[in-house]
Structure 1
Amino acid sequence: MRNDAAYNNVDHIPDGSSYPDRWEEEARTFREAEAAIGRARLNTAYGDHDRERFDLFHPAGRPEGLLIFVHGGYWLRFHRTTWSHFAQGATARGWAVAMPSYPLAPEVRIADITRSISTAIRTIAGYVAGPIALAGHSAGGHLVSRMAMADASLPPEVTGRIRTVMPISPVSDLRPLIETSMNADFRLDAAAAAAESPALGTPALDVPVHVWVGAEERPVFLDQARWLSEAWPGSTLTIAEGRHHFDVIDELRTPDSAMLERLLG
């Protein structure tokens, strides 16, 4: 398909295929350590599907707020347990961090995943008081962007707590994905792609939206980030020097990083 190469990240990142295994190992080590000291609540259900579960990591003291991080993987792969270690920066800053997994294509459509994440956020919000920050990477960036829109169906008691939305390397316009081999699993047509494209809509939340992308990413991901930041009035765009699609989220692990400062304040 004509857009396959454009949306292929792994083949354009040095040693790109090694990242998932490294993530899995570092996530497992972090998760087990946090569970051993009683700061991890793992595998809590937010829905009926076996992937509708979340992990919640607590800081050392009373949480200052709640960060919900939604993972990527083109709505086709990965699991919340691949990313646990990316909670360590925010927990060191005193925030609780929740990481939901969700049903994947082709079992479900992208619109169904959007609904699962809405349910996850409504459920997770009941476990930690205070402000909420939403962040997501790649397909997760799409999903947290969707949560800022009116049809996300988040109740006022949740939307009133959301302080920041950070789509990291998001897919904001899904129409180009129709011309990828992945669409055999997505089953997108023009109408479905448009309906799920944040860049074609407007946010309903009056909160800061900070779009973040790596300067060394594939050109289409720089485009996707710009499309969203240009479409949503008042949003900002950070192009992180020297970062590609896989290491752009590394700043989530560093408490005093520019990314976390923008996300959590």
Structure 2
Amino acid sequence: MLYRGFSQVELEQEYSPSSMIGGDLTPYLDSYQALSAQARANMPVRENLRYGDTPQQVLDFFPAKGAGAPLHVFIHGGYWQALSQRESAMMAPAMIEAEQSFATLNYTLAPDTRIGDMIKECRNALLWLASNAADLGFDPSRVTLSGHSAGAQLASMVMATSADALARAGLRMRDVILISGIYDLEPISLTSVNEPLQLTPVELHDLSPILNLPTPGPRYHVAVAERDTLEFIRQSRDYAELLRKGGHSVSFDLKRGMHHFDIILHPGTFLPAS
């Protein structure tokens, strides 16, 4: 028994979200790409804004219709080894309709870098946004950060490690939305997902959100799909409860009828107050 009584086969299935939809992600990946392309074609956007020195360190920015709007920043998933900001703009129309500017971040993927460096890249992207708030026309005191799947882990760890640096830069996080995320990396290290990651024992401790809680501040919204695996649901419940016990304002939402891949196709996932 490897982890929580699971066999190897069972653990692989629990940490394979596609096991809940028959194993074929292609229709959903195609939807991400098509809807993102449609958003780029129909809306003003500033693409491939560089927040760092490498080609991967870029973000895309969709401005709200009026100056001084809040900003929503999204960190994509892909198990730290797939996708980019190019396929991660499908929620932009809903954000603009809600009178929020929207930024979608890119970061270097495994095996070309390690998860700790991805966290730093996401932090640097947020710091770049803070320093360019006037030029981009958003209000840095009204920011929402969201992340899906691996992106939820990255967003959680940005808040755990860099909240003070972001605040000093003038970026105030009002809400953090964590969607079908991974908050304990130990089981990941025991599955085939770890092959490009090669997580070390130190990384399992230092990069797991359940072991590195942020200081209270923003409102946290932890969401997970009803048709996610039981382990994804458990991890989300456990992390939300740890945040609650740590003094955070936190909500937990089991998204009925949704699964790991369509949960980010619903605008309500990103607008928890609606």
Task: Provide the TM-score with structure 1 as the length reference.
Answer: 0.90
Q: How far is the alpha carbon of 1:66 from its aligned partner?
A: 0.5
What one-letter code is carried by the residue in structure 1 that aligns with 2:66? G
Mapping of residues 183-194 of structure 1, within 5 Å: 183-194=194-205
Question: Aligned to 2:49, which of 44, 51, 60?
Answer: 44
Please say which of residues 160-169 and 89-98 is displaced more in the overlay.
Answer: 160-169
Mapping of residues 166-245 of structure 1, within 5 Å: 166-233=177-244, 234=248, 235-245=250-260
Contact kept? 2:17, 2:229, Cα under 8 Å: yes
Contact kept? 1:215, 1:240, Cα under 8 Å: yes
The runs of at least 4 consecutive aligned structure 1 residues that moved more than 4 Å come to: none
1:136 matched to 2:144? The reply is no
| Secondary structure at the counterpart of residue 54 of structure 1 | strand
Q: How far is the alpha carbon of 1:110 from its aligned partner?
A: 0.5
What one-letter code is carried by the residue in structure 2 that aligns with 1:247? D
Question: Aligned to 2:29, which of 3, 12, 20?
Answer: 20
1:5 matched to 2:20? The reply is no
Please say which of residues 180-189 and 152-161 is displaced more in the overlay.
Answer: 152-161
What one-letter code is carried by the residue in structure 2 that aligns with 1:146? M
1:11-53: per-residue Cα shift (whole Å, max 9, x none)?
321553311112111211211221xxxx211110001121110
- Between the two proteins, the alignment pairs up a number of residues equal to 255
| Secondary structure at the counterpart of residue 5 of structure 1 | helix
Whole-angstrom distance in 2 between the partners of 1:77 and 1:258: 22
1:56 matched to 2:61? The reply is yes
Whole-angstrom distance in 1 between the partners of 2:164 and 2:119: 10
Whole-angstrom distance in 1 between the partners of 2:217 and 2:170: 9
Mapping of residues 69-84 of structure 1, within 5 Å: 69-84=74-89
What is residue 5 of structure 2 aligned with on the other side?
A: none
Given the superposition, is the C-alpha separation of residues 204 and 158 from structure 1 closer, same or farther in structure 2, using an over 3 Å criterion?
Answer: farther
| Secondary structure at the counterpart of residue 75 of structure 1 | coil
What is residue 3 of structure 2 aligned with on the other side?
A: none
1:171-212: per-residue Cα shift (whole Å, max 9, x none)?
011111110112121111222111101111221241111101
Whole-angstrom distance in 2 between the partners of 1:120 and 1:260: 22
Whole-angstrom distance in 2 between the partners of 1:48 and 1:106: 19
What one-letter code is carried by the residue in structure 2 that aligns with 1:49? T
Mapping of residues 85-124 of structure 1, within 5 Å: 85-124=90-129
Give aligned-pair identity as a percent.
28
Please, which runs of 5 or more residues in structure 2 have no aligned partner?
Answer: 1-7
Q: How far is the alpha carbon of 1:104 from its aligned partner?
A: 0.3
Whole-angstrom distance in 1 between the partners of 2:167 and 2:109: 28
| Secondary structure at the counterpart of residue 196 of structure 2 | helix
Q: CA RMSD in A?
A: 1.8
Given the superposition, is the C-alpha separation of residues 47 and 258 from structure 1 closer, same or farther in structure 2, using an over 3 Å criterion?
Answer: closer
Q: How far is the alpha carbon of 1:71 from its aligned partner?
A: 0.4
